[in-house]
Amino acid sequence: MKVITYNIHKCIGMDNKPSLKEIIKYLKKVDADIICLQEVLYPQFLKIKSKLKINGMFACNTKTMGISYGVCTFSKFNIEDSSHMLLTSKKEQRGMLATGYEIQGNTVNIINVHLGLDKYERYNQIDEIISYSNRL
């Protein structure tokens, strides 16, 4: 099983120009079974889901200019369940999206996280994620 994670920075490339088409092209090329993206605007989630023709879940961590912004997970497998949790954050709101799958008779859980930039904030957020994962 191939799983990738990618912080797409609202689809703004290194040249400060929108790069959604390039990101979709890359995701098609990689051909992962499960894709975890961070810093995604909801309309971008819908476009990627449509272009990849894949199952997907979106979780809003915050809103930017009135548009939902967060993390999303795409999967070639059926998503059996999902849950979203906001993480304790000092500055920009961060969160995690957990998705569950039944794959070849096994339960598989994937946790897509977007952590803060501050080292100590990350420690606390990781503790929250570990505590959550222990309940799965």
pLDDT at 64: 87
Report pLDDT digits (tens) over 31-59: 999 999 999 999 999 999 999 999 999 99
Is the separation of the CB atoms in 96 and 71 below 8 Å? yes
* Phi, psi dihedrals of residue 27, rounded to the nearest 5°: -65, -35
Report pLDDT digits (tens) over 97-122: 999 999 999 999 999 999 999 999 99
Could you tell me which residues come within 8 angstroms of residue 70 by beta carbon, excluding any fewer than 6 positions away? 40, 42, 58, 59, 60, 61, 62, 95, 97, 114
Could you tell me which residues come within 8 angstroms of residue 22 by beta carbon, excluding any fewer than 6 positions away? 13
The average confidence (pLDDT) of the chain is 94
Per the model's pLDDT, the better-predicted residue between 98 and 19 turns out to be 98
The pTM score is 0.93
C-alpha distances in Å from residue 13, one per residue of 10, 53, 103: 9, 23, 35
Average pLDDT over residues 60-89: 96
Cβ atoms < 10 Å from Cβ of 8: 20
Domain architecture of the chain: domains with CATH: 3-133 (3.60.10.10)
Is the separation of the CB atoms in 61 and 39 below 8 Å? no
